[in-house]
Chain A
Amino acid sequence: MSLQISDISKSFKDLKALKHISLEVRENELFGLIGPDGAGKTTLFRILASLLLPDEGQANVAGFDVIKDYKQLRKNIGYMPGKFSLYQDLTVEENLNFFATIFNSSIEENYDLIKDIYVQIEPFKKRKAGDLSGGMKQKLALSCALIHKPKVLFLDEPTTGVDPVSRNEFWGMLKKLQKKGITIFVSTPYMDEAALCDRIAFINQGEILQVDTPSAIVKNFAKQVLNIQTPSIYKALRVLGSYQHTHSIYPFGESLHYMDSRKDFDWNEVLNHLRNEKIKDVEGELISPEIEDVFMELSRN
């Protein structure tokens, strides 16, 4: 096991940020922590990076206890906080050199590890980090987190505020890093990124809801999902909100996702109910649930 979290709790004054979290991440896994803002992701990351002390529980990262062995632990992990945390007034090259130095390493020593990422920002190496675009900043931050060849890499919402193309590229880089033997623990509020992880854990309001591979999570989902399309989404949402058989209804992109409280149901009945309520141009089809549907369902309880 690369990461072992058992029964971790953490409170800030009245707020219970984490409630008895237990989790295991295997060696060389790309593990995703999926949850909305305020779910407790950053708190968990900080505890694992030895930046915060848990109120209760224990955690091991790469064999080091996050409380007792924090000195050893810090040499063996790479950590990229959610907020861009490099020196904005230093150039790309200076930032990288600085982080290499404080980890007793050098750019040359681990160049093979960061090469794929660094070549993309190398043309801008004389530019100040503060003047880089969002995607570039993120690549630089990742390079800096990798410069000492960590065993475990913690990435706290690395793709927040990054354009879709760069996000895709970023996940491609993570896959490559994984092949080089690094365990990656990544958090994201984007459900579509969850499918790219080996395994994921859902977290909401400080609790882990489910842990599994993305495909198993979707496959084991018992409910059927009805995708409803209509120009008057808001009215349809209200109508189905008070419909007797509704289990759940929520907007999903440009359409609505509906789940029925009965085990088997005729979805045309639902659509007809909408038409009877004078909702125009209603169309719908049963779809296989997506990860977000599972999360919505889990966080209802």
Chain B
Amino acid sequence: MKKFIGFVKKEFYHIFRDKRSLFILFGMPIAQILLFGFAISNEINNVDIAILDKADDKNSKEIIVNLKASKYFNVIDHLQSEKEIETAFQKGKVKAVVTFDQDFARNLQRPETSKFQIITDATNPNVANTITNYINSIVVKYQMVNLQQDPPPQLVQSESRMFFNPALESVYMFVPGVMTVILMLVSAMMTSISITREKEVGTMEILLVSPLKPSTVIAGKVVPYIFLSLINAIVIVLLSVFVFQMPIEGSIFWLVTASLLFIITSLSLGILISTLSSTQQTAMMISLMGLMLPTILLSGFIFPIESMPYPLQLISHIIPAKWFIIIIKSIMLKGVGFSFFWKETLILVVMTIFLLGLSIKKYKIRLA
């Protein structure tokens, strides 16, 4: 036990004296979560639009006021004719133009002929779609509230309600993903690098000649990173709760437990990588290419697994991140109990035991 504590102490010296790895450890999570939270998002906010109001009546003016009042749109231009629409788009100033025909108010009563048009700049189709939906919903809402039409103009109107993320905040989707990527990165890459560093520098030779057991060396390498990764997980959760107002619906206990489990899975992957590579460079390459990319692409973090081709769906099953993302989404967003994600947890546990066993078995007690 004394040996083990001595070893862990040594590891902490390494970590805290290496500015670069410290930066990766703590700078990256914060940078990533802020980046994903603020910059990369599917939501629209403060979109510049223009209006071509030929009707110029009470109804159209009220709708324009509603558009202006929403936090989504800024009306920056009032166009005079259809000709100006194209130039407005070409200048790139506006993302959408809303036009009202002269007899808009009359037609409002008869929806099939209603002359109201949304023209969007579809260079980014997703944004264009979202803008159209938002504008539509503002107009429909206006119709319902102000025109006292008891059956609303459309005979069937679908009303969608977004569960678990009612405002469709993209940060809610990104937090579980970013957390997964970061835990994977910190745990797997940092441990594999720190073990291969010993090989490269030659200290592994001395460790091997010492009476240290392989399990002590591995545990000594892993424990500091469990600790640091857990701190990272907590930082990410705190950031998402306090900066992005993300709710945590489920139990904190399960959130921590699941994170801990996933950290250990990643660490055992890291150890496995270190047994396969003899230089820090290779370890880093394997971690990045072999772990990071699948974690980002195939885990359901960015691209939904359901829409992948079948072979990729099969591959996604062996990616631990996929299961972890399901678990933390269940905990953070759905707020469901353990009975809803025990299967995923079990899969992770089995993966971890397998990887840990494999890496201890592959750990060499000699040099070659």
Question: Which residues of A are in contact with B by a Cβ distance under 8 Å?
Answer: 46, 49-53, 70-71, 74-75, 77, 79, 81, 83-90, 94, 97-99, 101-104, 144
Contact = CB atoms under 8 A, between A and B. Distances in A.
B289 interface: no
B210 A99 contact: yes
B367 A89 contact: no
B10 interface: yes
A173 B365 CA distance: 32
Interface in B1-38: 2-3, 5-7, 9-10, 13-14, 17-18
Contacts of B201: 85, 87-88
B33 to A, nearest CB: 29
Contact of A79 (B6, B7, B10, B209): B209
A89 B17 contact: yes
Contacts, number: 77
Contact of B206 (A50, A85, A89): A85
**From A83, A86, A89, A104, residue with most partner B Cβ within 10 Å:** A89
Q: Which 8 A-B pairs have the closest CB atoms?
A: A101-B6, A85-B202, A51-B367, A79-B209, A83-B202, A89-B17, A75-B211, A102-B210
Given A86-B203, A94-B13, A102 B3 contact: yes
Nearest to B366: A51
Interface of B: 2-3, 5-7, 9-10, 13-14, 17-18, 201-203, 205-212, 365-368
B14 A70 contact: no
B13 A74 contact: no
B301 to A, nearest CB: 35
Contacts of B207: 102
B368 A81 contact: no
B219 to A, nearest CB: 13
B209 A98 contact: no
A53 B212 contact: no
A15 to B, nearest CB: 13
Contacts of B9: 98
Nearest to A91: B13
B366 A53 contact: yes
B246 to A, nearest CB: 38
B203 A87 contact: yes
Given A51-B209, A74-B209, A81 B202 contact: yes
Contacts of A94: 10, 13
6 contacts: A52-B366, A81-B202, A83-B202, A86-B203, A86-B206, A89-B14
Given A83-B202, A85-B202, A98-B10, A52 B211 contact: no
A74 B205 CA distance: 12
Given A71-B211, A87-B201, 16 more contacts: A52-B366, A74-B209, A75-B211, A79-B209, A85-B205, A86-B206, A87-B203, A88-B201, A90-B14, A98-B7, A101-B5, A102-B6, A102-B211, A102-B212, A103-B210, A103-B211
A23 B9 CA distance: 41
B208 A98 contact: no
B212 A85 contact: no
Contact of B368 (A52, A97, A99): A52
Nearest to B14: A89
B209 A77 contact: yes
A73 to B, nearest CB: 9
A81 B14 contact: no
Contact of A85 (B3, B6, B203, B367): B203
Given A75-B211, A89-B14, A52 B367 contact: yes
Contacts of A90: 10, 13-14
A269 to B, nearest CB: 53
Nearest to A79: B209
Contacts of A87: 10, 13-14, 201, 203
A79 B366 contact: no
B242 to A, nearest CB: 35
Nearest to A100: B6
Nearest to B209: A79
A77 B211 CA distance: 10
A49 B209 CA distance: 7
